[in-house]
């Protein structure tokens, strides 16, 4: 499905996570998938991926056996082993017998069906996947890092452990140890067997071998069997082991390779990963990684100085090596070239030629979500990719030498790259925005670090764009031609000066408010887009509205109120379209999965004095099933748009027709960004959260619309995972937050949920960014190198506890250290160990009776007290010693009362002894952690200050000490209270901390503390009780709480906060944020009560339109009448009457929710019914011309876009109702020309929507007597007005067109009727326009019989009526000027199509020659003879032909040239076919227009002549 693809990065820190087979296919594990790549010497080709693991893929290997190249095995952190068929992309076999994380994998080269795995607890499992037999054993209770099966002995497996041990075991003997190879001091990263049996001579030194081996050639003696095994370890050495000798024969120390200009990292050992690979057919050569990403080829037959050479060290000094450590190596032979594949931490996969040691190609990979794509408008083909791995890739997509020619930029970037924008004129300047709010500019043609703006956003940067400077940056002569604009998650748009990024950026909200005199708070901005000519700026907001502003003053032109949810993306149509109307198309996408396109030409070119509100879209594109995250207009087509969203698909739309063109479904996750190729009109790029960028062709997709079935539901459920959290007592989080004054992490969930693609909830963002992007499982930078030692240490080291797989037969279970043994662990119940049941009586007895007693208070002098509880003889001796000391101190030299063994004497001696005793007691309390007792002792000694300071330092203040603090003085008391406040904040006791601040008079600090910790309700209560109502602190509290509540989705509570401070406008806006009818009606009422009439009318109109869309007409009218929207009430009444009138004839198939009594269908003419209802219910009549003119002006300002074939019927009827209402009002004002013009538009809408039944019913409703009814209107027209005549002519043509087809279908046999796709009971589609097919089907159904059809002779359709219909058609429809116009327009369209084909062929480097079958639709006489040859067309001849057709169009009358925009007209040639067919079944005596029809058909319907001849 894709052309090219940037895949996810191979997983890090895995001993074997990539491998190649003999067909040259590379497979590598990335996240929880496996990517397959076709390896060639020129470039890689991504074949696809294998998806099935639930967690990170930890191992991958191909089957090494002949004929089994398409079979491979993988392991995952989900503890499963899967066997795959890469051709069918299915799992052949699998098992999940491992209990712990699998760390090693290999496929036995000797036994075809054997896959061996090892886990972090030392368990080895042998899996025969054809019979699902499993053997398990634990050779050593150590963590396994890698293993490798011997290519020479079917039962020998080498295992590398974390502690540096290399063991060779025999799996046929239950894992018996054959060799225990000691020599490494650290974990073993890789093992590799020599592919050649035996032990050929290698160069070695005395220290390499053991037991006095002499220098020289190391090898086995004749008759000995064995082979070599190589190992790489974190201790920076490679060792070659002899299995015959059971010891090492060679030790290779990694060379320190100092790169040019780069010093050796002293801590490189901490980040080293030493992998080793022994290429097949090279028994004397090893390939290993080195310290910094270099690859070293070792020649084992040479001495030290000649032993190694570095791959990629070209003569020109360029460095081709990886820039960071290498994890995996594998080799294959393609076209007789031996190729080596390496994967690295630098997120590149490199292919090397082992003969030349040069790098053949590099494949860049991605280590995070693809948040942004941007194509350079100057350097065509330069695609910038912003990724969540903190890096930018610039991909030269047009490179002829390398398919994946990319450059990497990471300097100065410390977080995810979420936004990118190329400079419009400078090809080297690339602006970027990051997740931490940083904005910078890179010079991609230099190696310099980027320039960074000094102004940071508080949250993620979502959008970047270059645009014209705005005031004050636009003032003065020395100014940049473009400014850089950025929009962040906090809702602010900054203008950065690219010449002075160190200067403060400007918030454009100030300019908007000053220019438009806005005093209320602006809604937070979420996206913006500059019109390509730089004259208009569109800004999307969090409340779903879109503001359109004229540069440079940012005067607001209009407001688009279509979306009800946050705006995620905005895009203007490109400026090089041939149609001026398309230049003003603005596409927008939000979280409601609908893409709206608005035509803002009238608002831009003819701005009103006050901003207008637009609530009708030019096109509504429905098909996505989840939020829209990105979009882009095709620079090669008019009105072609691509959109992407959370449903995981990219959808291409024909906006002009409102039709889906193709749908791309190649991604395996949500899509976040999209770009159209500026060179190839069929090529696009998409990026998403599956860590990939896909390049795909629009014409190669098999799907047209996004998925609607099970896959879409699964994607939607996966993308919208929301945990329904509950608070205390079952209260919902929302209610709990409201009751508690807000605050808490749960309130952040809905804030970012409504953001665009990457704008996800903080919880989900952490899970995806940490658990997916940055963990060791998914190539994270900080991948841990220590094993998880969280398991219990006292478990039996030789025990293997594996759950028995039901498919494993009994005889394979083994004994002892095999499958489930008697040493099984305790069973788990819901994740916890099961315990024996305890009866209630036993539980009661367990409670000690002493627990009800009062707790004895701890002694404050425990040391001295304990000395008085010794045996009696010691106490008697103490008395003698104390007396001796008191009366004869000189004789008792060793006795120091109050310390040491005589601490108890401190109470009975002098004050100095007491002080010594108290010092000893304090030290004892301090060591025991009894701070309160120590503080009490200091208080006793009068050391209040010291006691309090010590408590402050220890963080052990309490209420008792605070009560004692005033004893030390006022200053000390205040200091202690402040310290206690900080201590309480650390303990999350913020309310208590605020109370203590109040006690020392720090009222504002108390309020600030509560506000900081989101206790808004308490802070407001405190402030309102003490401050004036207009105090700025109180106002700030209300505003801050309102903003927080708005972010959390608590709109009604936020509105109350705004109302409390007099921000009525903001209160109404936030109430309407919910978007449902009740909220909109409440918002309208609130705005009306507050005096904001325009806002009230806007909400009322939105509410009424939502109700009308639900066919709930009664409440819709009530809302409109409450707000005085009388003109809209007229429109809605006409719409309701139209729906009810069309229900009995089957056009309307739904049942309205509620209707008025006056809308019941009656026999009265429809227009008379409308006029009567207007007069009775709304007081609108011809006697009040001022009201009529006001209604015409108001309804005429409403957007009423052109229709397409797939417009929804409800929307189509609302547009028809608007035309009918305007026509009725114009007729009541006496303007017959305008009335007929609007009626014509109403009829044509059904025709253009390909709904013939609707068109015919509208003709009957508006003109019940057909042409006679039209004549009544024509009497009021000015005969000299050409415009009136043209409108009348078009209406006459459509009425005759309707009669013509009704006559045909009424007398056509059932077979022909069905073949045209119509049923007399339900003619919802258009008449058959494929006239060749029509004639062929008519011929096949036998209607070519010259005697006519039996249906045409029926009594219901007389010959006279047929003659009248045909005569009227001939007189009013078979117009030669219109036939000329339509023929030339078809020819121009065909020429444009061929010119487009030539341009595409030229851009692809193909021969610019159209096929011989491509001919222009030409007439026989009006097309120049120079163009009538059937030869090949070149570009000059095509352009000449187009100019001649345009000249023919220019020579037509004015009223004809405006077809079909102003005066639509039926297809003349199509009507000629029907007239000729019906004329052949009419009587010969009738005068029929068959001659004129045949003349027009022959002259302007050349492609249809063959079909007509076949019919006749």
- Give the model confidence (pLDDT) of 225-236 as tens digits: 789 999 999 999
Give the integer Cα–Cα distance in Å for 81 and 91: 10
DSSP state of 805: P
Cα 399 → chain centroid: 29
Are 26 and 34 a contacting pair, CB within 8 Å? no
The long-range contacts involving 723-730, CB below 8 angstroms and separated by at least 24 positions, are 723/763
**How much is the mean pLDDT over the chain?**
80
Distances from the Cα of 1095 to the Cαs of 63, 282, 544, in angstroms?
Answer: 70, 81, 15
Are 378 and 425 a contacting pair, CB within 8 Å? yes
- Give the model confidence (pLDDT) of 1193-1215 as tens digits: 888 888 788 888 778 888 889 99
How does 88-126 read in b/e, with b if 16+ C-beta sit within 10 Å? eeeeebbbebbebbbbbbbbbbebbbbbbbbbbbbbbbb
Give the integer Cα–Cα distance in Å for 1074 and 359: 58
Give the integer Cα–Cα distance in Å for 1489 and 1366: 7
**pLDDT for the residue 762:** 36
Are 249 and 265 a contacting pair, CB within 8 Å? no
Those residues whose C-beta lies under 8 Å from the C-beta of residue 1393, and which sit 6 or more positions away, are none
Give the integer Cα–Cα distance in Å for 1126 and 1122: 10
Give the integer Cα–Cα distance in Å for 70 and 875: 92
DSSP state of 1465: -
Are 693 and 385 a contacting pair, CB within 8 Å? yes
- 576 by Cβ neighbours in 10 Å (0-12 / 13-18 / 19+) ranks as exposed
Give the integer Cα–Cα distance in Å for 1442 and 1361: 43
Give the integer Cα–Cα distance in Å for 94 and 105: 14
Those residues whose C-beta lies under 8 Å from the C-beta of residue 843, and which sit 6 or more positions away, are none
Are 1170 and 1137 a contacting pair, CB within 8 Å? yes
How does 1449-1463 read in b/e, with b if 16+ C-beta sit within 10 Å? beebeebbeebeebb
Angle between the 911-928 and 931-940 helix axes, to the nearest 10 degrees? 160
Give the integer Cα–Cα distance in Å for 492 and 524: 7
Torsion-angle region of residue 56: left (phi > 0), alpha (psi -120 to 50) or beta?
beta
* Helices vs strands, H then E, count in the chain: 41, 61
Give the integer Cα–Cα distance in Å for 1095 and 519: 14
**pLDDT for the residue 344:** 94
Give the integer Cα–Cα distance in Å for 980 and 995: 11
**pLDDT for the residue 1310:** 37
- 914 by Cβ neighbours in 10 Å (0-12 / 13-18 / 19+) ranks as middle
Nearest to residue 611, comparing CAs of 667, 556, 534?
Answer: 556
Give the integer Cα–Cα distance in Å for 370 and 1289: 57
Are 158 and 148 a contacting pair, CB within 8 Å? yes
DSSP-derived secondary structure for 606-666? S--SS-EEE---SEEEE--SS-EEEEEE-SSSSSEEEEEETTS-EEEEETTTTEEEEEE--
Nearest to residue 540, comparing CAs of 463, 593, 592?
Answer: 463
- Give the model confidence (pLDDT) of 1433-1474 as tens digits: 677 777 778 787 777 777 777 666 655 556 788 888 888 888
- Mean pLDDT by groups of 10 residues along the chain of 1512 residues: 89 94 94 94 92 94 94 95 94 94 95 94 93 88 95 94 94 90 94 87 56 41 70 93 90 75 47 90 90 89 79 70 92 92 94 91 94 92 94 92 90 94 93 95 91 94 94 74 94 93 93 91 93 95 93 93 91 88 92 92 89 89 93 93 95 92 94 94 94 93 82 55 39 35 36 41 36 41 36 38 37 35 34 38 43 62 80 79 72 71 76 81 76 76 78 83 84 90 91 91 91 92 87 90 89 92 90 88 91 89 90 92 89 93 89 91 88 90 87 86 83 91 91 89 88 89 88 82 84 88 67 34 42 41 39 51 81 83 81 76 51 36 39 69 76 64 79 82 65 81 63 58
Give the integer Cα–Cα distance in Å for 21 and 331: 8
Distances from the Cα of 959 to the Cαs of 984, 986, 991, 993, 1340, in angstroms?
Answer: 11, 16, 14, 11, 102
Give the integer Cα–Cα distance in Å for 1508 and 1336: 9
- Tell me the β-bridge partners of 85: 71, 90
β-bridge pairing 370-375 and 359-364: unpaired
Nearest to residue 1307, comparing CAs of 1372, 1366, 1264?
Answer: 1366
- 774 by Cβ neighbours in 10 Å (0-12 / 13-18 / 19+) ranks as buried
DSSP state of 439: E
Q: Which two tokens stand for residue 989?
A: 């006791």
DSSP state of 110: S
Are 10 and 29 a contacting pair, CB within 8 Å? yes
Give the integer Cα–Cα distance in Å for 1130 and 1223: 12
Measured at the alpha carbon of residue 983, what is the angle toward residues 977 and 988, in degrees to the nearest 5?
120
Question: Phi and psi (nearest 5°) for 1494?
Answer: -65, -40
Q: In what order do the strands lie in the sheet with 81-85?
A: 57-62, 71-76, 81-85, 90-95
Q: Which two tokens stand for residue 214?
A: 């002499």
Size of the chain, expressed as the number of residues it contains: 1512
Those residues whose C-beta lies under 8 Å from the C-beta of residue 982, and which sit 6 or more positions away, are 993
**pLDDT for the residue 836:** 39
pTM recorded for the entire structure: 0.74
Q: In what order do the strands lie in the sheet with 567-572?
A: 567-572, 585-590, 594-599, 619-622
Query: 3-class SS at 1173?
Result: helix
- Give the model confidence (pLDDT) of 625-674 as tens digits: 999 999 999 999 999 999 999 999 999 999 988 899 999 999 999 999 99
Give the integer Cα–Cα distance in Å for 647 and 624: 7
Give the integer Cα–Cα distance in Å for 568 and 574: 20
The label of the residue with tokens 């603090």 reads 965
Cα 318 → chain centroid: 38
């Amino acid at each position: 499905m894709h052309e090219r693809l940037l895949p996810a990065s191979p997983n890090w820190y895995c001993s074997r996570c990539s491998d190649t087979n003999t067909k040259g296919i590379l497979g590598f594990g990335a996240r929880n998938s496996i990517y397959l790549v076709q390896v060639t010497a020129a470039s890689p080709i991504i074949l696809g991926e294998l998806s099935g693991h639930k967690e990170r893929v930890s191992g991958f290997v191909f089957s090494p056996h002949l004929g089994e190249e398409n079979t491979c095995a993988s392991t995952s952190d989900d503890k499963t082993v899967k066997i795959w068929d890469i051709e069918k992309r299915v799992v052949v076999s699998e098992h999940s017998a491992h209990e712990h994380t699998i760390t090693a994998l290999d496929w036995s080269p000797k036994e075809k069906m054997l896959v061996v795995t090892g886990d972090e607890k030392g368990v080895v499992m042998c899996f025969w996947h054809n019979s699902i037999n499993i053997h398990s054993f634990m050779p050593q209770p150590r963590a396994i890092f890698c293993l490798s099966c011997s290519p020479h002995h079917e039962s020998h497996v080498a295992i590398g452990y974390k502690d540096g041990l290399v063991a060779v075991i025999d799996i046929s003997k239950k894992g018996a140890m054959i060799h225990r190879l000691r020599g490494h001091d650290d974990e073993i990263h890789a093992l590799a067997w020599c592919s050649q049996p035996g032990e050929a001579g290698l160069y070695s030194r005395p220290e390499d071998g053991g037991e006095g081996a002499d220098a020289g050639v190391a090898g086995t003696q004749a008759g000995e069997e064995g082979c070599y095994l190589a190992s790489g370890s974190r201790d920076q050495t490679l060792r070659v082991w002899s299995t015959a000798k059971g010891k090492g024969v060679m030790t290779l120390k990694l060379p320190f390779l100092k790169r040019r200009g780069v010093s050796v990292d002293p801590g490189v050992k901490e980040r080293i990963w030493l992998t080793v690979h022994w290429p097949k057919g090279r028994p004397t050569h090893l390939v290993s990684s080195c310290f910094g990403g270099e690859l070293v080829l070792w020649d084992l037959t040479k001495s030290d100085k000649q032993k190694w050479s570095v791959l990629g060290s070209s003569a020109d000094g360029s460095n081709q090596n990886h820039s960071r450590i290498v994890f995996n190596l594998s080799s294959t032979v393609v076209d007789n070239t031996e190729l080596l594949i390496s994967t690295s931490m630098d997120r590149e996969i490199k292919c090397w030629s082992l003969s030349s040691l040069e790098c053949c190609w590099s494949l860049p990979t991605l280590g995070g979500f693809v948040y942004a794509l941007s194509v350079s408008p100057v350097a065509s083909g330069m695609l910038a990719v912003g990724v969540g791995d903190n890096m930018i890739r610039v991909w030269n997509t047009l490179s002829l030498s390398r398919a994946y020619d990319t450059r990497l930029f990471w300097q100065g970037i410390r977080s995810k790259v979420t936004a990118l924008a190329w400079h419009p004129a400078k090809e080297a300047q690339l602006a970027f925005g990051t997740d931490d709010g940083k904005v910078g500019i890179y010079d991609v043609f230099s190696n310099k670090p980027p320039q960074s703006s000094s102004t940071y956003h508080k949250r993620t940067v979502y959008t970047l764009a270059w645009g014209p400077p705005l005031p004050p940056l636009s003032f003065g002569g020395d100014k940049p031609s473009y400014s850089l604009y950025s929009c962040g998650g906090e809702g602010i748009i900054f203008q950065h000066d690219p010449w002075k990024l160190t200067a403060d950026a400007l918030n454009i909200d100030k300019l908007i408010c000053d220019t438009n005199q806005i005093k209320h708070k602006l809604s937070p901005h979420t996206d913006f887009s500059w019109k390509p000519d730089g004259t208009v700026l569109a800004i999307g907001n969090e409340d779903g509205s879109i503001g359109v502003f004229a540069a440079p003053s940012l005067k607001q032109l209009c407001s688009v109120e279509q979306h009800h949810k946050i705006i995620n993306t905005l895009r203007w149509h490109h400026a090089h379209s041939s149609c001026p109307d398309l230049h003003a198309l603005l596409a927008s996408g939000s979280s409601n999965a609908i893409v709206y396109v608005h035509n803002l030409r009238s608002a831009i070119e003819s701005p009103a004095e006050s901003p207008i509100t637009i609530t009708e879209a030019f096109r509504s594109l429905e098909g996505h099933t989840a939020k829209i995250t990105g979009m882009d207009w095709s620079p090669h087509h008019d009105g072609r748009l691509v959109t992407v969203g959370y449903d995981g698909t990219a959808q291409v739309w024909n906006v002009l027709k409102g039709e889906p063109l193709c749908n791309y479904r190649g991604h395996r996750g949500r899509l976040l960004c999209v770009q159209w190729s500026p060179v190839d009109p069929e090529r696009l790029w998409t990026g998403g959260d599956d860590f990939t960028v896909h390049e795909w062709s629009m014409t190669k997709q098999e799907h047209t619309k996004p998925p609607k079935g099970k896959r879409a539901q699964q994607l939607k459920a996966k993308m919208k995972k929301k945990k329904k959290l509950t608070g205390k007592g079952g209260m919902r989080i929302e209610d709990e937050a409201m009751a508690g004054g807000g605050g808490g992490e749960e309130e952040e969930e809905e804030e970012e949920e409504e953001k665009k693609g990457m704008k996800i909830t903080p919880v989900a963002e952490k899970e995806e960014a940490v658990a997916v992007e940055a963990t060791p499982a998914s190539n994270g930078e900080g991948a841990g190198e220590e094993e998880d030692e969280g398991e219990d240490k006292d478990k039996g080291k030789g025990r293997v506890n594996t759950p028995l797989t039901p498919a494993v037969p009994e005889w394979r279970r083994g004994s002892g250290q095999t499958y489930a043994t008697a040493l099984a662990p305790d069973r788990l119940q819901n994740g916890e160990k099961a315990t024996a049941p305890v009866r209630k009586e036993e539980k009661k007895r367990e409670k000690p009776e002493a627990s009800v007693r009062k707790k004895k208070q701890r002694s404050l002098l425990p040391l001295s007290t304990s000395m008085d509880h010794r045996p009696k003889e010691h106490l008697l001796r103490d008395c003698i010693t104390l007396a001796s000391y008191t009366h004869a101190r000189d004789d008792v030299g060793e006795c120091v009362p109050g310390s040491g063994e005589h601490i108890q004497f401190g109470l009975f001696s002098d004050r100095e002894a007491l002080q010594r005793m108290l010092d000893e007691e304090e030290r004892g309390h301090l060591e025991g952690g009894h701070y309160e007792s120590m503080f009490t002792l200091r208080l006793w000694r009068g050391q209040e200050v010291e006691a309090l300071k010590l408590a402050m330092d220890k963080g052990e203040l309490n209420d008792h000490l605070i009560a004692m603090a005033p004893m030390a003085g006022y200053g000390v008391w205040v200091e202690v209270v402040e310290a206690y406040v900080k201590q309480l904040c650390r303990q999350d006791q913020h309310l208590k901390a605020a109370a203590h601040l109040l006690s020392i008079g720090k009222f504002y600090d108390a309020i600030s503390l509560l506000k900081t910790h989101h206790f808004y309700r308490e802070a407001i209560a405190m402030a309102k009780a003490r401050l004036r109502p207009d105090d700025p602190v109180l106002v700030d509290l209300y505003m801050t709480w309102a903003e927080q509540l708005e972010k959390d989705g608590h709109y009604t509570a936020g509105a109350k906060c705004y109302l409390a401070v007099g921000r009525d406008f903001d209160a109404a806006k936030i109430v309407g944020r919910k978007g449902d009818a009740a909220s909109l009606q409440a918002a309208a009422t609130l705005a009306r009560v507050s005096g904001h009439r325009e806002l009230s009318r806007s909400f009322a109109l939105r509410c009424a339109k939502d109700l009308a869309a639900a066919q709930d007409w009664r409440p819709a009218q009530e809302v409109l009448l409450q707000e005085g929207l009388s003109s809209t009430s007229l429109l809605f009444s006409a719409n309701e009457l139209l729906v009810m009138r069309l229900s009995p004839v089957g056009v309307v198939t739904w049942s309205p929710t509620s209707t008025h009594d006056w809308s019941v269908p009656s026999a009265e003419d429809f227009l008379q019914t409308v006029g009567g209802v207007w007069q009775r219910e709304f007081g609108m009549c011809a006697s009040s011309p001022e009201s009529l003119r006001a209604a015409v002006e108001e309804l005429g300002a409403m957007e009423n876009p052109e229709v397409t074939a797939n417009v929804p019927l409800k929307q189509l009827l609302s547009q028809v109702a608007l035309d009918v209402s305007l026509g009725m009002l114009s007729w009541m004002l006496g303007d017959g020309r305008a009335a007929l013009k609007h009626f014509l538009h109403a009829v044509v809408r059904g025709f253009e929507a390909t709904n013939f039944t609707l068109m015919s019913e509208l003709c009957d409703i508006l003109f019940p007597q057909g042409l006679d009814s039209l004549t009544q209107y024509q009497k009021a027209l000015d005969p000299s007005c050409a415009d009136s005549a043209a409108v009348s002519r078009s209406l006459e043509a459509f009425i005759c067109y309707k009669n013509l087809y009704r006559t045909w279908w009424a007398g056509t046999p059932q077979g022909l009727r069905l073949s045209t796709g119509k049923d007399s009971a339900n003619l919802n589609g258009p008449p058959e326009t494929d006239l060749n097919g029509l004639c062929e089907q008519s011929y096949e159904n036998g209607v070519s019989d010259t005697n006519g059809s039996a249906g045409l002779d029926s009594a219901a359709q007389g010959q006279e009526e047929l003659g009248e219909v045909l005569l009227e058609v001939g007189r009013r429809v078979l117009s030669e000027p219109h036939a000329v116009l339509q023929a030339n327009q078809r020819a121009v369209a065909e020429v444009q199509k061929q010119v487009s084909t030539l341009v595409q062929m030229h851009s692809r480097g193909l021969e610019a020659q159209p096929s011989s079958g491509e001919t222009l639709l030409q007439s026989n006489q009006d097309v120049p003879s120079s163009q009538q040859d059937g030869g090949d067309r070149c570009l000059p001849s095509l352009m000449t032909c187009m100019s001649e057709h345009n000249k023919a169009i220019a020579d037509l009358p004015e009223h004809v040239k405006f077809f079909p925009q102003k005066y639509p007209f039926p297809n003349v040639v199509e009507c000629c076919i029907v007239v000729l067919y019906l004329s052949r079944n009419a009587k010969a005596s009738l005068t029929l227009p068959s001659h004129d029809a045949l003349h027009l058909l022959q002259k302007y319907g050349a492609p249809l002549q063959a079909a007509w001849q076949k019919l006749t």
